[in-house]
Amino acid sequence: MLATDRPAVPDCEIFCRVVDNLGDIGVCWRLARDLATRGLGVRLWVDGWATLVGLCPPAADGACVAGVELRRWTEPFPDAVPARLVIEAFACDVPPRHLEAMAAREPKPAWLNLEYLSAEDWVAGCHGMASPHPRLPLTKRFFFPGFVPGTGGLVQESGLVDARRAFQADPAARAALFAALGVAPAPDALVVSLFAYGHGQLAGLLDAWAAGPRPVCLLVPEGRMADALATACGRSALAPGEGLQRGALDIRVLPFTDQDGYDRLLWACDLNFVRGEDSFVRAQWAARALVWQIYRQQEDAHHVKLDAFMARYTAGLDADVAAALRRFWRAWNEVAETEGGAPETPAACWPAFAAALPRLAAHAREWSAELEALPDLAQALAKFLEPAVKC
Tell me: the pLDDT tens digits for 59-91?
Answer: 889 999 999 999 999 999 999 999 999 999 998
Q: Are 22 and 52 in contact (CB under 8 A)?
A: no
The catalytic residue positions are 24, 277
pLDDT digits (tens, 9 = 90+) for 205-218: 999 999 999 999 99
Of all residues in the chain, the percent with pLDDT exceeding 70 is 95
Q: Does residue 287 carry a pLDDT above 80?
A: yes
Q: Does an H or E element contain 252, and which?
A: strand 249-254
Question: Please, is 25 exposed, middle or buried when counting C-beta atoms within 10 Å of its C-beta (0-12, 13-18, 19+)?
Answer: buried
CATH fold for the domain made of 160-373 = Rossmann fold (3.40.50)
> Using alpha carbons only, how large is the chain's radius of gyration in Å?
22
pLDDT range class, residue 21, cuts 50, 70, 90: low
Task: Tell me how far apart the alpha carbons of residues 126 and 144 are, in angstroms, rounded to a whole number.
Answer: 8
Q: Looking at residue 88, what is its pLDDT?
A: 96
Query: Measured over all CA atoms, what is the biggest interatomic distance in the chain, rounded to whole angstroms?
Result: 67
Q: Looking at residue 6, what is its pLDDT?
A: 45
Between 6 and 48, the higher pLDDT residue: 48
Question: Please, is 96 exposed, middle or buried when counting C-beta atoms within 10 Å of its C-beta (0-12, 13-18, 19+)?
Answer: exposed
This prediction has a pTM of: 0.93
- Separation of first and last alpha carbons in the chain: 22
